[in-house]
Copies of this chain bind each other. A is one copy, B any other.
């Protein structure tokens, strides 16, 4: 009796390799017209009726019934109490993680700059924090305290004046770890609301929820659809796809470790993706055997099995160089370089959300406490986007101050170009500042 393998094996020498890899990687965010219409209705209701609509939706979707909006608020003192009441080990771990995440993000702070030209004209760029930010935190089983740290700490480091968090509490059940993380991360106030109604409240404000300037954080399809809909009214972060990892091994790492690294990604959900690339066929055999052996011992065996069989792969390639080509083609969210001389290899990597270098650097350390952000570009979007960072909570303003001489020199050029574009008010505005001869 033989079982089908848990995970597919591919080789770059297969005739159909390109199409099979493309099929594995392909992911299109669901865009459901029916959901878009329901979300639009919810947003319209919140804009029109504010708190009253927010209370109604919260009763309907989260079975949390209140009569006044202020019953939906959790103040800072309650967040602190949650932190103080945690078991010692959890409190210390959360504190350790928060300290490290804060320290790493301090390195991301950009500076304002300016320079003066020979004629006295001054040019520069001023960096300022966003005033008020909203952090969406999912409720229920996907409520991750680490996500609270990763979303709120960069905002706090950026100098955001007020950080508002929303988290649904279905049936009134709150997650103490989430509240404790909010305290550590510098969250000012929490509203126990969720879904599209929470996003709408943050984007437009209600009598009790203040309007924010940017909304970040993960959520289900309703939350993602609402974020897309309010984009422009407020800033938003990327709409994330399923989490993924690409592990590259040179054959020198314990196959049991590598199997567990793949599992750690696959256990997120059935759509998560775990791919291993190596150029040693016997090593791939060993990893496959480690997968088969360890899988039955996993608490989330069902999810892992489904994820590995649907979207996972063990890929045999020809060389270290070909592995790099695959990395840049895939542009993975998480890249684990479990190889000798990983820094050298990382230099050839053009696209990846986060690069974990060396046999000791399990990707999961980055999920919690290494320091860098765990909110990363998924589904190949590392081709054009970056980890969430301090820069996402700041913005820039250009600075220009012309000396009379500068206004003359620049004005002559501007006048020619403006007239070339038939914009004569532009030309005359510049010409007004020319030196009279």
Binding site for B on A (CB under 8 A): 29, 89-90, 92-94, 96-97, 100, 104, 107-108, 110, 113, 115, 121-123, 125-126, 128, 130-131, 141, 144-146, 177, 213-214, 232, 234-235, 238-239, 254, 256-257, 260-261, 263-264, 266-268, 298-300, 304, 342-343, 346, 349-358, 360-373, 376-377, 379, 381-387, 389, 391, 395-404, 406-407, 410-414, 416-418, 420-430, 432-433
Contact = CB atoms under 8 A, between A and B. Distances in A.
Contact of A235 (B234, B304, B385): B385
A362 B416 contact: no
Contacts of A399: 346, 354-355, 357, 372
15 contacts: A93-B412, A93-B416, A108-B125, A128-B350, A141-B422, A146-B417, A213-B383, A235-B381, A263-B429, A264-B429, A361-B402, A361-B407, A368-B418, A369-B417, A382-B397
A371 B122 CA distance: 10
Most chain B Cβ neighbours within 10 Å, of A113, A145, A363, A369: A369
B131 A383 contact: yes
B387 A424 contact: no
A354 B384 contact: no
Given A125-B107, A264-B425, A365-B430, A357 B232 contact: no
A389 B383 contact: no
Contacts of A427: 364
Contact of A372 (B107, B386, B400): B400
A35 to B, nearest CB: 15
B123 A383 contact: no
A258 B131 CA distance: 31
Nearest to A239: B232
A318 to B, nearest CB: 23
Pairs A-B, 9 closest by C-beta atoms: A235-B384, A372-B398, A93-B416, A354-B398, A357-B401, A263-B425, A360-B407, A386-B396, A264-B429
Contacts of A369: 410, 413-414, 417
Contacts of A391: 391
Given A368-B417, A401-B343, A430 B108 contact: no
Contacts of A414: 362, 364-365, 367-369
A99 B356 CA distance: 40
B257 A370 contact: no
Contacts of A260: 425, 428-429, 432
Nearest to A409: B96
